Structure 1
Amino acid sequence: MTRKGIRPIHCLILLPLLLVGCWDRQELNHLAIISALGIEQAQDGKITVFTQEITPRTLKGGGMGATSEGGGGGKTLLRSETGETVPDALFKLQKKVGRRLFWGHTMLVVFGERAVRQGIQPQIDFLIRHPQMRLRANVFISEDPGAILGIQAPVESTAARTIRNMVDLRRRKAMDINQLAQMMAGDAQTAIIPYIQPVDKTIPYIHGSAILKKGKWVGKLNQEITEGVLWHRNEMKNGVISLKIPEGRRDMGIRVVNSQVDMIPKIEQGEWRMTVRIHAEDDIEVNETDLSMRNPRFVRMVEEAAEKEIYTLAQKMLQKVQHDLKADILGFAETFHRRYPREWEQVKDRWDQVFPRVKVKVQVKVDVERVGMTNRPAGLPMEKVKKK
């Protein structure tokens, strides 16, 4: 056979390879898309799972006047089932759902407080192993996961997206499944997870944080102490601080636009010490005093007041975290491990006893970057503005 005759045969052999298509495709109308998962321990010790399923909105007619069919027209559907383990509960739930559960769009996992008190290591192991689960899904803790996932969000399409947006707007680092697994397996084996609860049964609200040690509940921090932890973990990127200015005798509000935290460990004569240096850059948002910000002395007065406020918050946080809960969620263990690996090997098995005895020194430096569009208080006559 000539070379010209062989070429068409080669083309016929190779052509099917270009027409493989999507052999493993899954049709959308065959899937139950799960946007959020809740895990709680039942009263009898079994595991209850809650799923927030996105429901298709079938419209009658078209155009601007289209309306949803059916009563209520809810955006999500809450389902629940109980089993011996999470896989067992989900297997039972799958048998009751007419579509295949699909986890590729899950953006939220909410653990119940009872489950956390018993330990969530088995549940984290399941989430990490699941081939469809998104490891970037955010993790929260709530007293009632079913109530959180059952909220019909008034603005966003789902409660899960509402909560996700809250985290983004606060510019706080969201805890995801992968990060939680890493923290639980880290040197300190601790984790801090946002605590969420409903407001008026219609709006989910992030209120403080829960502290875990070795996968179990240790305690809860209010919002103020949580912000102190965020400062030390270098996660405070946006926040508002209200200040009392003695000379102005009124309030002033500043916004944190950037912050940097450096931790400097030192072991000297058997004593473990940590120096925490906090540097914040702030903007003045409101000036209720009679002080002109054209005067550098008054600007420095604001900076000193902010430094004192942050320092006081840091001391409150250390008392709660280091001495009351004795849970190293500040990253001290990893910092000492990197700097003093030999010494760390000697104390790693009893870090719970060493951590509360670490001497911590906090240094705060605040710089006011911008004072706003005006240097003097708005609405105050010039003769009443204090310039010197």
Structure 2
Amino acid sequence: MAQVDASTILDLLRNTPALEVLEIKSRDVLAPPNSATISSRPVSLPRLQSAHISHSTSAVAHCLMAALDVPSLAFLDLTVHVNGGTLLSVPPLPRALATHPMRRLAFDVGSDSDFNPSFHAALHGSGASLAIGLHAHNVLHTGTEWAQWMLTDLPTTLPLSGIEEFHIRAREWDAPEDALPHLAVYMPAVSTLLIKHETHDDDYDYDDGDDTDGHMELARVVARVLTSDGPVLFPRLAHVELIVGSIPLAFCELLARALGHRDVGGRRLQRLRIRVDDEHYDSFRWRVMGGRVSEYRKTGIFDHVDVCEIPDGSSDGAGHEPNDGDTQRLGWGKWRDCVQQARHEYWEE
């Protein structure tokens, strides 16, 4: 695929009007479109249901998405790679997905290093699923261009207004520019919020068994969301679930004050569940056992929510997720009724 550009792909697709599944797999980044040869005529694929496009540049993704007329599309998985100086933007979505009511969103803010940030967004609605991955190279994670994409392009391109269940995972919560409170403005229908704090090994103090700075950063951002009055963020919020590596008392105290503010304002939560990530649960369990069980109730975190679940370090603690099939616990970015990618076995090993 290294010598194939978007215009060549579109020329091929014009001759396959009965196509139902499109999968473009390449180990190399696809070549940019040849503007001299590309046609402005749309490519109509009325039966296309599933599309998977990997290792695309921003220019290629824009070219393909703008040209395709795919009214039956129900599944799209698109991965875009960008280099420094390249416009960061979400390509235009096919109308079938851009106008489809989406109820669930999983958003992963990741980074291989300070200069290789990545975002993954997965949306799901009744009979439709969309996944977009954006990988940047030689772009500063906290740079202006990256933050602009995060705060402006993403929420105005993806259909977020009907999202009812929002999952977000990140390592840093104060960059870029308070992303969680900003994104919340675009999702007034959210009733369930799951947040996973991604603790890296170099953040974790194994002597003290904690990533206190990271957890307190997360607590401050969650408190900002819960206490915001102008505007009220997530006004329908009923269920909050936090997946963390540890649970400092100060973490609970800060959340307790925020929950109290929300309760007094008439928006009391129904359920708060704090879970310790499986990777850190054994360490957490040993720290809180043997007469050192943290007195979470004294922080007030149980006082302003109908049901509050925090693990106590026992083998069957409420916050542990031992993959026991408990259907009451939310899985990170996973829903049983998502549209699945259509697959064939031609080149599968």
TM-score (norm 1): 0.27
The structure with the larger Rg is 1
> Which structure has more helix as a fraction of its residues?
1
> Which structure has more strand as a fraction of its residues?
1
TM-score (norm 2): 0.29
